[in-house]
Chains A and B, each alone.
Chain A
């Protein structure tokens, strides 16, 4: 069951497929008894982790997918550079240092004495291969779309420990972008994705019993400090209350992705998870094309009440989608105050000026985007009705909701408010502003030329100037564009058994470092 299927050409596994069919038929007929592998209870030096879903693949170039990255990143494979979630600093990993040698060129000095799980040694060749495979190949890497977009990179191997990377245009945050490129050996398939990669990380894949469990074991030749646990076993349970129960009953040591009502009790650990919830206002359609109506929506929403009731007191009323700790965060923007009287007044003014405030607005919600998503939208609807707008709710599943989230938007939709949530994994506002607020951004329903210009200038700046310019763009958005009603910075919950100590941080959702988990005693 552990055979890694490396899809290269369809000719290669036509025969095995038929074999699989026959073998499975035999299994069905004889009624093989045990489902999946059966193993004895976990030994003490294994950490047992309950995930909400099985990783679809462990392919490192798809590690920007939460379910994959949570297992692969920093555990199985490592990048050249690594962002410390607690400080926001970019630190060395497989590269020890780097510098910008020209506006479009960077030189990385690589770590020596590093070997891959398959035994081969790590060299600049591998690094160049991994970058090319992720950014320039045809295999459709998720990381490519997430981090690099249109931009192309050229790699040049100077010697075993020196790598040059060139960009088409000046890119001040290239080292940060490269922190998403996980390094695999040059022997890895360049034409297709691999489900079970080799890497340089502190853990290697031991067994993946599909559908049942995944076990990682400590990599003995790891270049850094050996991690405390000898092994990690992942299982997946779709139901939050079951994951919590597994920790309270001693079947698991770590349960991730819990909601306040899942009953983890005093085993629960809360942490800011880097996500910000907001309502995206479709400002191209009446009555939402009137800025007074958009401001009224912001005044009408009681963010503190929402956090206190629906989010069980977890989370914090938010002013902007870029949270603290991310380059570009503007500490001077305050959350819009709850002021129903002002909201009503603004709506009245708009009505008096002939704005079609009686047009029904639809809240497009997504079930499960965060705990109690539907309830949160019912609270918003209630407030907006009180302010004098007409509002319906439509709760959708992910794919139907995405039709509204991403361009091109459904043409027959009326004015909408979209329930959305944004998490900036990378730590730089460049990963937020263009796509969310740019006139042409993939997730942007509305932008202005002025805002576009501010964003563009900020993206090309570096150092303190970069921070300054993003701050300016955010303030302008908040005051003059008002494209969003930002709700709250969200809080995540994990449960920990008494046997394990681990401190979750803002990156835990996307990258859960096993090396940071240690036995309690």
Chain B
């Protein structure tokens, strides 16, 4: 397992370099930021001065070299927008997103495993159809609808929850609920599908012939086998939350990295964008390594189960 981990981490180094390289050059294909940071009436001299101050007057290769040199000193550059170190902005925003995404994924996975398995227990029954229908609906509700309607109902009309903000446990309810519906819906579909297949597989019959009870059959062998696709999809959904919690972060004023990243793209704040992508890329790579480890463990157990 340790050799596997080491190899896996080493093999992630080149892709990470590709990400650094890609973001740097792609970002510079999105136009000159001078217009956004200078007053509309700025003179050509001011533009030249702005370019010189931020190094944009250098050939792009030189800029990239400087950037790599900075990176090697753990210097991530400075935000054009706030004149703050980019690393500081990114590290301030990241925990907020990570916590939100963590809570959401935990709830989504647990909920989806329960609902998906129950639905698959009797395929094509009314309960199954109901679960499929509801989860497909949940997966496709536009998130801003859900968020704004939730605020209007629970905050404005009923006054139970705060409209937005991050203070207190009640403030988590609407953001988590909004973020939850799509991953939950998708995962229920995937778990249900995989469980239906798994329940009709030969090795389940083996388990049954050994006299295992219904509950154990479902939650023991079948779930373990159904876990592979669910794990992959859950991983991708978690990645989506890290990169894509923008709507929730914007609406609820959640100081997270999704909004920071979008703002830095729209505002051509290159240093912040690069730092943010680098950090999320690291997290995504780590998450995928974790998933691979889970696979390996699962795989071993499934084989053991079949062999037994």
Alpha-carbon gap, A59 to B79, bound state (A): 14
Task: Tell me whether B57 is interfacial, beta carbon within 8 Å.
Answer: no
Contact A212:B251 (CB < 8 A) given known A31-B99, A33-B99: no
Interface residues of B in 106-163 (CB under 8 A from A): 148, 151-152, 155-156, 159, 162-163
- Map CB proximity to A onto B30-65 as digits: 1 under 8 Å, 0 otherwise: 110101111111110110011001000000000000
Alpha-carbon gap, A246 to B155, bound state (A): 9
**CB within 8 A of B266: which of A210, A211, A397?**
A397
Shortest C-beta distance, B303 to chain A (Å), equals 33
Task: Tell me whether A98 is interfacial, beta carbon within 8 Å.
Answer: no
Q: Across the interface, which residues of A come within 8 angstroms of B78, CB to CB?
A: 7
Alpha-carbon gap, A237 to B247, bound state (A): 11
Task: Tell me whether A1 is interfacial, beta carbon within 8 Å.
Answer: yes
Q: Would you call A249 and B42 a contact (CB within 8 A)?
A: no
Task: Give B46's nearest chain A residue, CB to CB.
Answer: A145
Interface residues of A in 185-231 (CB under 8 A from B): 192-193, 195, 210-212
**CB within 8 A of A195: which of B83, B159, B251, B252?**
B83
Task: Tell me whether A330 is interfacial, beta carbon within 8 Å.
Answer: no
Contact A242:B251 (CB < 8 A) given known A140-B50, A403-B31: yes
Q: Would you call A238 and B95 a contact (CB within 8 A)?
A: no
Interface size class of B (residues with CB under 8 A): 35 or more
Q: Is the interface of A mostly helix, strand, loop or mixed?
A: loop
Q: Would you call B75 and A14 a contact (CB within 8 A)?
A: yes
Contact A212:B255 (CB < 8 A) given known A7-B85, A246-B164, A399-B31: yes
Shortest C-beta distance, B123 to chain A (Å), equals 39
Task: Tell me whether B232 is interfacial, beta carbon within 8 Å.
Answer: no
Q: Would you call A140 and B46 a contact (CB within 8 A)?
A: yes
Task: Give B44's nearest chain A residue, CB to CB.
Answer: A407
Q: Across the interface, which residues of A come within 8 angstroms of B81, CB to CB?
A: 56-57
Binds A, one of B2-10, B86-94, B184-192: B86-94
Task: Tell me whether B166 is interfacial, beta carbon within 8 Å.
Answer: yes
Q: Across the interface, which residues of A come within 8 angstroms of B39, CB to CB?
A: 64, 142, 145-146
Q: Would you call B99 and A399 a contact (CB within 8 A)?
A: no
Shortest C-beta distance, A400 to chain B (Å), equals 7
Alpha-carbon gap, A399 to B33, bound state (A): 8
Shortest C-beta distance, B143 to chain A (Å), equals 12
Task: Tell me whether B253 is interfacial, beta carbon within 8 Å.
Answer: yes
Q: Would you call B255 and A211 a contact (CB within 8 A)?
A: yes
Q: Across the interface, which residues of B come within 8 angstroms of A402, CB to CB?
A: 35-36
Q: Would you call A5 and B251 a contact (CB within 8 A)?
A: no
Q: Would you call A398 and B36 a contact (CB within 8 A)?
A: yes
Q: Would you call A239 and B168 a contact (CB within 8 A)?
A: no
Q: Across the interface, which residues of A come within 8 angstroms of B152, CB to CB?
A: 245, 263
Alpha-carbon gap, A254 to B34, bound state (A): 33
Q: Across the interface, which residues of B come within 8 angstroms of A248, CB to CB?
A: 156
Binds B, one of A17-25, A169-177, A379-387, A457-465: A17-25
Binds B, one of A34-42, A469-477, A483-491: A34-42
Task: Tell me whether A391 is interfacial, beta carbon within 8 Å.
Answer: no
Q: Would you call A17 and B93 a contact (CB within 8 A)?
A: no
Contact A238:B75 (CB < 8 A) given known A13-B85, A32-B95, A140-B50: no
Task: Tell me whether A27 is interfacial, beta carbon within 8 Å.
Answer: yes
Q: Would you call B83 and A399 a contact (CB within 8 A)?
A: no
Alpha-carbon gap, A7 to B54, bound state (A): 14
Contact A17:B253 (CB < 8 A) given known A249-B163, A402-B35: no
**CB within 8 A of B253: which of A24, A236, A241?**
A236
Contact A251:B31 (CB < 8 A) given known A24-B94, A31-B99: no
Alpha-carbon gap, A28 to B102, bound state (A): 12
Shortest C-beta distance, B92 to chain A (Å), equals 6
Q: Would you call B91 and A20 a contact (CB within 8 A)?
A: yes
Shortest C-beta distance, B172 to chain A (Å), equals 9
**CB within 8 A of A5: which of B53, B84, B156?**
B84
Q: Would you call B41 and A149 a contact (CB within 8 A)?
A: yes
Q: Would you call A242 and B164 a contact (CB within 8 A)?
A: yes
Alpha-carbon gap, A27 to B151, bound state (A): 30
Q: Would you call B92 and A211 a contact (CB within 8 A)?
A: yes
Q: Across the interface, which residues of A come within 8 angstroms of B88, CB to CB?
A: 5, 17, 20
Task: Give B53's nearest chain A residue, CB to CB.
Answer: A140
Task: Tell me whether B96 is interfacial, beta carbon within 8 Å.
Answer: yes
Task: Tell me whether A443 is interfacial, beta carbon within 8 Å.
Answer: yes
Shortest C-beta distance, A89 to chain B (Å), equals 25
Task: Give A67's nearest chain B residue, CB to CB.
Answer: B81
Task: Give A34's nearest chain B residue, CB to CB.
Answer: B166
Shortest C-beta distance, A52 to chain B (Å), equals 11
Shortest C-beta distance, B95 to chain A (Å), equals 5
Alpha-carbon gap, A18 to B168, bound state (A): 31
Can you report 28 A-B residue pairs in the complex whose CB atoms are below 8 A from each other? A7-B84, A13-B85, A17-B76, A21-B74, A27-B95, A28-B95, A32-B95, A36-B96, A57-B81, A138-B53, A140-B49, A142-B37, A149-B43, A193-B83, A210-B89, A212-B166, A235-B165, A237-B252, A242-B253, A245-B163, A246-B163, A249-B159, A249-B163, A399-B35, A399-B266, A399-B267, A402-B36, A403-B35
The 6 closest A-B pairs by CB, nearest first: A211-B255, A24-B91, A145-B39, A146-B39, A238-B250, A402-B35
B interface residue numbers (CB < 8 A to A)? 30-31, 33, 35-43, 45-46, 49-50, 53, 73-76, 78, 81-85, 87-89, 91-96, 98-99, 102, 148, 151-152, 155-156, 159, 162-168, 250-255, 259, 266-268
Q: A17-B75, A35-B166, A39-B167 are in contact. List 20 more A-B contacts (CB 8 A).
A: A7-B78, A7-B84, A21-B74, A21-B91, A24-B94, A35-B95, A38-B166, A59-B83, A145-B41, A146-B39, A210-B92, A238-B251, A239-B250, A239-B251, A242-B163, A246-B163, A248-B156, A251-B162, A398-B36, A402-B35
A interface residue numbers (CB < 8 A to B)? 1, 5, 7, 10, 13-14, 17-18, 20-21, 24, 27-28, 31-36, 38-39, 56-57, 59, 64, 138, 140, 142, 144-146, 149-150, 192-193, 195, 210-212, 235-239, 241-242, 245-246, 248-249, 251, 263, 397-400, 402-403, 405-406, 435, 442-443
